[in-house]
Amino acid sequence: MIEATSQSVDVSDVHKRYHHNEVLKGVSFHVPANTVTSVLGPSGSGKSTLLRSINRLIPIDSGLIRVGDNIIGYEERGGKYYELSDRDLCRQRQRIGMVFQNFNLFPHKTVLANLVEGPQVVLGRPKRETEEEARELLASVGLAAKADEYPGQLSGGQQQRVAIARALAMKPELILFDEPTSALDPELVGEVLDVMRRLAEDSSTTMIVVTHEIAFARDVSDQVVFMADGVVEASGPAREVLDPERSPRIKSFLMRST
Ligand code: ADP
Ligand code: MG
């Protein structure tokens, strides 16, 4: 679908607190390049905070996050905080796509304009070329006919497929999905998961997907990370992690989600 070099992600002993509330309590896991990792866990366990830390939308208190060769956040023993320069951070972010629960499309722009905004404004690429690519991407998510419509004219499932296409238009090396199907009516979930499934199979982009869709996690991911109360309770192949016998928390999560 797209040609991009994908990046590995290393998360090592990451801590993050909001005031007195420690939300990430030493989170570590590794995502090899060109693989799909699903992050599961109860609400409030720190999954969104983790994704935002990887994208450096929020600073972490300590620990190390590495995306490819770039260190995103690190605190030395002496308390010195190291991070990328603003310029490098900006460049790094351009390589990371993010898909949110609530789509976050520009409502006053057409679907096509949503897709070409980043490539044209941020990457400075030519109009004709970016529009051609955008139309190809829209076709690949089954929305070729919607290029000139506005997000408000589309269903939630269609908007989310546009949001995925928009993320892909930047040719990201890593895409972070934060519960991309949680805001959708049940009958619209399948069309979005199908697009994500195809992306996982066809592209060479590293994907980290926070989701409650157990079937997606089982079928599509190379690895499942189960978070509970700010720590990684278990990680590894889906069939090992999503075993109700593994822990009481995983058992109760599986029972509530099916
Ligand atoms: P999840 O995505 O797994 O539901 P979150 O990462 O959204 O979990 O939240 C984890 C915890 O951090 C929750 O207790 C939440 O209230 C708290 N939290 C998240 N964002 C903020 C914030 N910006 N300020 C204060 N507390 C926050
Ligand atoms: Mg969340």
Residue 18 alpha carbon to ligand 1 centre in Å: 8
| Nearest listed ligand to the Cα of residue 49 | 1
Q: How many C-beta atoms surround the C-beta of residue 245 within 10 A? A: 7
Question: For residue range 57-90, what is the model confidence (pLDDT) as tens digits?
Answer: 888 888 889 898 877 766 555 666 666 778 888 8
Per-domain residue ranges for the chain? 9-105+174-257
Atom in ligand 1 nearest the alpha carbon of residue 230: 10
Dist CA 248 CA 237 (whole Å): 18
Question: For residue range 140-162, what is the model confidence (pLDDT) as tens digits?
Answer: 999 999 999 999 999 999 999 99
Residue 176 alpha carbon to ligand 2 centre in Å: 12
Tell whether ligand 1 has an atom less than 6 A from the beta carbon of residue 53: no
Tell whether ligand 1 has an atom less than 6 A from the beta carbon of residue 59: no
Question: For residue range 2-52, what is the model confidence (pLDDT) as tens digits?
Answer: 455 789 999 999 999 999 999 999 999 999 999 999 999 999 999 999 999
- Cross-strand pairs, 38: 209, 224
Q: So what's the ipTM on this one?
A: 0.98
Q: Give CATH superfamily name and number for 9-105+174-257.
A: P-loop containing nucleotide triphosphate hydrolases (3.40.50.300)
Residue 44 alpha carbon to ligand 1 centre in Å: 6
Give the residue from 170, 148, 151 showing the smallest Cα distance to 161: 151
Global confidence as pTM? 0.94
Q: At which residue do the structure tokens 């866990």 appear? A: 41
Tell whether ligand 1 has an atom less than 6 A from the beta carbon of residue 44: yes
Tell whether ligand 1 has an atom less than 6 A from the beta carbon of residue 230: no
Tell whether ligand 1 has an atom less than 6 A from the beta carbon of residue 20: no
